[in-house]
């Protein structure tokens, strides 16, 4: 029975990964580095959001980016062109990043001068939700063209995230997407999640997102100083 065997193996791997992720989180805390894990479906706008975040925050925080992809280096090239150190992690068929892969990616950055690292996870609403990367906060993007029914279909992703960016709001009105229905479905799954509506194309909502992220980085620093 390959299915039962697969479940057992998966549980072991998830347990090992959780330990590694907790270790990584402790190490990063000691060094004052804020790690953000950004997840979404393919094409929802992860790279565009990272480029917008760099514009807004690069004078406030020294940044680095880990770009995960099955293949290709196109996203890392875009980030590097924006003047921010970027590491491309090719997962070679794996559908998610785990803490071990993130650790290897971080080794390629000069952590002595970095305060904020953003992970662009593999474009996938399933597997990345299951693997703790060691990040302080999990963020996800849902883009309007994907539809307002996604919380019903991928509940774990909406559950593990601290913030949801509803992106491509410039597409509102082109389909039957209801922002009210989406908010209700998300809140039912995860009452504490922050929801920010954005358009990386027009720039709408990007200031709110940057303010949210800057505030979380400050809170994390204060927690560290008071320990």
What is the binding site for a copy of itself (CB under 8 A)? 2-3, 5-6, 9, 13, 16-17, 41-43, 69-72, 74, 93-95, 98, 100-101, 122-127, 130, 143, 145-147, 149-150, 152-156, 168, 170-171, 174-175, 201
- CA angle (62 as vertex; 84, 167 as ends), nearest 5: 65
CB of 188 to a copy of itself, least distance (A): 13
Main-chain dihedrals φ then ψ at residue 206, nearest 5 degrees: -65, -35
User: What's the rounded Cα separation, in Å, for the pair 88 and 76?
Assistant: 6
The nearer residue to a copy of itself, 41 or 138, going by C-beta atoms, is 41
Q: Which two tokens stand for residue 26?
A: 């402790």
Using the Cα atoms of residue 66, residue 221, residue 206 and residue 83 in order, give the sign of their dihedral: negative
User: What's the rounded Cα separation, in Å, for the pair 47 and 50?
Assistant: 5
The nearer residue to a copy of itself, 35 or 44, going by C-beta atoms, is 44
CB of 9 to a copy of itself, least distance (A): 5
CB of 179 to a copy of itself, least distance (A): 15
The nearer residue to a copy of itself, 83 or 173, going by C-beta atoms, is 173
The nearer residue to a copy of itself, 48 or 216, going by C-beta atoms, is 48
Q: Which two tokens stand for residue 151?
A: 């919380």
Starting at the earlier edge strand, list the strands of the sheet with 63-69.
86-90, 63-69, 116-120, 34-40, 137-143, 163-167, 194-197
CA distances from 180 to 139, 151, 158 (A): 20, 13, 16
CB of 142 to a copy of itself, least distance (A): 8
The three-state secondary structure class of 133 is coil
The nearer residue to a copy of itself, 46 or 216, going by C-beta atoms, is 46
CB of 128 to a copy of itself, least distance (A): 10
CB of 43 to a copy of itself, least distance (A): 3
In the chain, count H helices and then E strands. 8, 7
The nearer residue to a copy of itself, 50 or 57, going by C-beta atoms, is 50
């Amino acid at each position: 029975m390959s299915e039962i065997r697969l479940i057992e193996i998966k549980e072991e791997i998830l347990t090992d990964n959780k330990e590694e992720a907790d270790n990584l989180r402790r190490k990063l805390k000691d060094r004052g580095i804020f790690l953000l894990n950004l997840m979404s479906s393919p094409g929802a706008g992860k790279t565009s959001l990272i480029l917008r975040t760099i514009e807004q925050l690069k004078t406030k925080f020294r940044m680095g980016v880990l770009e995960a992809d099955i293949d290709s280096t196109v996203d890392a090239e875009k980030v590097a062109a924006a003047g921010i150190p970027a590491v491309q992690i090719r997962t070679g068929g794996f559908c998610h990043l785990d803490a071990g892969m993130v650790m290897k990616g971080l080794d390629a950055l000069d952590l002595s001068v970095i305060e904020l690292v953003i992970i662009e996870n593999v474009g996938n609403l399933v597997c990345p939700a299951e693997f703790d990367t060691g990040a302080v906060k999990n963020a996800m993007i849902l883009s309007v063209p994907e539809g307002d029914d996604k919380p019903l279909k991928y509940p774990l992703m909406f559950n593990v995230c601290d913030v949801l960016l509803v992106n491509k709001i410039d597409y509102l009105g082109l389909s039957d997407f209801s922002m009210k229905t989406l908010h209700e479905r998300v809140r039912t799954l995860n009452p504490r999640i922050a929801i920010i509506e954005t358009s990386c194309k027009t720039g709408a909502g990007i200031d709110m997102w940057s303010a949210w992220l800057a505030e979380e980085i400050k809170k994390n620093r204060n927690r560290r100083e008071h320990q």
